[in-house]
Amino acid sequence: MHTNIADTALDATSTKNIRLVDVEKKFNGQHAVNKLNLEIFDQELLVVLGPSGSGKSTALNLLSGLELADAGEIYFGPDNVTELPTERREISMVFQSNTLYPHKNVRANILFALKIAKVPQDVQEQRMNEVARLLHIDQYLNRRIDQLSGGQRQRVAIAKALVKRPKLFLLDEPFAALDAMLRRELRGELVRIHRELGTTMLFVTHDQEEALAIADRIAVMNEGELVQVGPPLDIYNRPVTTWVASFVGPHSINLLDGELQTDGGKGYVLTKAGRFGVDPGVFAGAGAALPSKRVVVGIRPEFTALSATPSADSVSAEVYSRQNFGSSVLYQLKANGADFRAVVPVNHLYDIGDRVNVEVSWSQTVWYDPDTRKLAYAAMDEAGPRAAVSPARA
């Protein structure tokens, strides 16, 4: 079986889709999940992203049946599974860390679910060899669990989950306990396996980098509610609230309160940091979308440029501190006393205390209504970023 799933090839209409409809779950009178409506497309890798307490793990437990919903319905394809106990839902799950049977060796761990399901012996062996090869654990099959490293254990846990060919594969922060290098390695494996097998996966994480890196689609949750669902670039480029904008992205976004101004036929946004000259197309678009002149403009640090010489559109700032990541540098700036972050390539290093001029790549900015904190206008079009990512790189 070989299926290729690109971001755009998701089948939103498949009859195998898994749906949460108006699902609610309370703990001690508090909504852990409130009116959750979410569809997991057949064969997709959906990442549920949220901070701790956002309800993302509860959502996963409701899908697994380890928790039962207080209200609402859950469908696996046409089947209503709302009240179905875990063992009859045909799901697999990988937990955060070290959740394997300590008294069984790798082989017995992988085969356990098939034994319970009374799968014939020869089929068991064949399927185990398949997943063992897929996860590169063939040589550890006879080891005890305590003889494996953390990374190997998670490989075994994934193999164990895949061997039963679940309708839905749930992963609850599976790599959170691993070190950064190993985490990236295993994420890569997971994406490759997902492409190869086409298993429908729901992956829960609090790590936005992880979500952006592996997801077909991301569902962002906060305080028990679903805030935004969409492909990673959509979440990154068109966050629907200032909260999502702050939560998602490698560097924390600059959110500046400001006011739209026109001066000599040119559009500006006046903020505490200074007066930025805005690209005419973006200015017109934002102006049309916003209910008033007041705005919160979102500028990602990675879509800015610094230069030593001022321009008509730039704002002057002083380097407060800097962090060099090798390929890029994060500058923490003070512009008229306001904080501003810029991430730029290491072609010229500014020192702490240097004066710099900030330029913004307006085609990648997001504009929010200051009263509702909701997205009014995103300069990025639906298709994603334009060819040039940042002016500094052009």
Partner 1 sequence: MRKISRRKILVYGGALLLLVWTLAPIYWMINMSLSTTVAIGEGRLFPSDPTLCNYVRIFSDTFSCHTADGASAPVVGQAAAIRQGLVNSLIISVVVTLVTMIVSIPAAYAIGRLVFKHKVKILTTIVLSRSLPPVAVLIPFSSMYTTMHLQGTILGLIIIYLTLTVPLVVWILSGFFASLPPNIEKLARTDGCTRFQALYRVLLGAAMPGVSAVAAIAFLTSWNEFTFALILTPATDAQPFPPTLAALFSHVSYPNTNAAAALLAMIPVMIMAYVFQRRIRSLNLVGPI
- State the minimum distance, in angstroms, from the CB of residue 354 to partner 1: 51
Token pair recorded at residue 269: 């946004």
Strands of 201-205's sheet in order across: 91-94, 168-172, 201-205, 45-49, 217-222, 225-230
Among 18, 81, 93, 290, binds partner 1 (CB under 8 A): 93
Contact pick of 101, 126, 144, 149 for partner 1 (by CB under 8 A):
101
Q: Could you say whether residue 86 binds partner 1 (CB under 8 A)? A: yes
Residues 227 and 221: beta-carbon distance below 8 Å: yes
Q: Is residue 112 involved in binding partner 1 (CB under 8 A)?
A: yes
Shortest separation between residue 153's beta carbon and partner 1, angstroms: 10
Question: Can residue 34 be called a binding residue for partner 1 (CB under 8 A)?
Answer: no
- Shortest CB 179 distance to partner 1, Å: 20
CB of 88 to partner 1, least distance (A): 8
User: What is d(CA 311, CA 328) in angstroms, rounded to the nearest whole number?
Assistant: 23
- How big is the CA angle at 176 (ends 199 and 255), to the nearest 5 degrees? 100
Whole-angstrom distance, CA of residue 65 vs CA of residue 73:
12
Residue 260 Cβ, how far from partner 1 at the closest point, in Å?
A: 53
Residue 346 · residue 326 · CB < 8 Å: yes
Is 102 a binder of partner 1 (CB under 8 A)? yes
Which of 274, 256, 277 shows the shortest CA–CA distance to 356? 274
Q: Are residues 356 and 333 in contact, defined by beta-carbon separation less than 8 angstroms?
A: yes
Nearer to partner 1, 160 or 341 (CB): 160
Residues in the chain: 394
- The residue among 168 and 227 lying less far from partner 1, judged by its C-beta, is 168
User: According to CB under 8 A, which one of 47, 60, 113, 273 is a site residue for partner 1?
Assistant: 113
Is residue 81 within 8 A of residue 75, CB to CB? The reply is yes
Span from 42-50, 84-92, 182-190, 273-281 in contact with partner 1 (CB under 8 A) = 84-92
- Select from 4-12, 83-91, 245-253, 271-279 the region that touches partner 1 (CB under 8 A): 83-91
| Helix/strand/coil for 349 | coil
Q: Which of 85, 281, 291, 345 binds partner 1 (CB under 8 A)?
A: 85
Q: Which structure tokens are listed for 131?
A: 């997943």
What secondary structure letter does DSSP report for 363? G
**Span interacting with partner 1, options 20-28, 98-106, 206-214, 286-294, rule CB under 8 A:** 98-106
Residue 64 touches partner 1, criterion: CB under 8 A: yes
| 3-state SS class at 368 | strand
82 binding partner 1? (CB under 8 A): no
- Which is closer to partner 1, CB of 110 or CB of 317? 110
Identify which range of 95-103, 267-275, 285-293, 381-389 contacts partner 1 by CB under 8 A.
95-103
Please work out, in degrees rounded to the nearest 5, the angle formed at the alpha carbon of residue 97 by the alpha carbons of 96 and 103.
Answer: 130
Q: Which is nearer to partner 1, 101 or 325 (CB)?
A: 101
**Residue listed under structure tokens 């909260």:** 243
Q: How far apart are CA 199 and CA 324, in angstroms?
A: 40
Q: Note whether 99 binds partner 1 by CB under 8 A.
A: yes
Q: Tell me the angle at which helices 150-162 and 121-134 cross, rounded to the nearest 10 degrees.
A: 140
Q: Per CB under 8 A, which of residues 153..182 are in contact with partner 1?
A: 160, 164, 170
Count interface residues toward partner 1 (CB under 8 A): 24
Residue 200 makes contact with partner 1 by CB under 8 A: no
Structure tokens at 250: 């490698």
CA dihedral 253, 259, 262, 266 (to 10 degrees): -10
The region of 97-105, 211-219, 309-317, 381-389 touching partner 1 under the rule CB under 8 A is 97-105
Give the interface with partner 1 as residue ranges (CB under 8 A).
64-66, 85-87, 91-93, 95, 98-104, 112-113, 116-117, 160, 164, 170
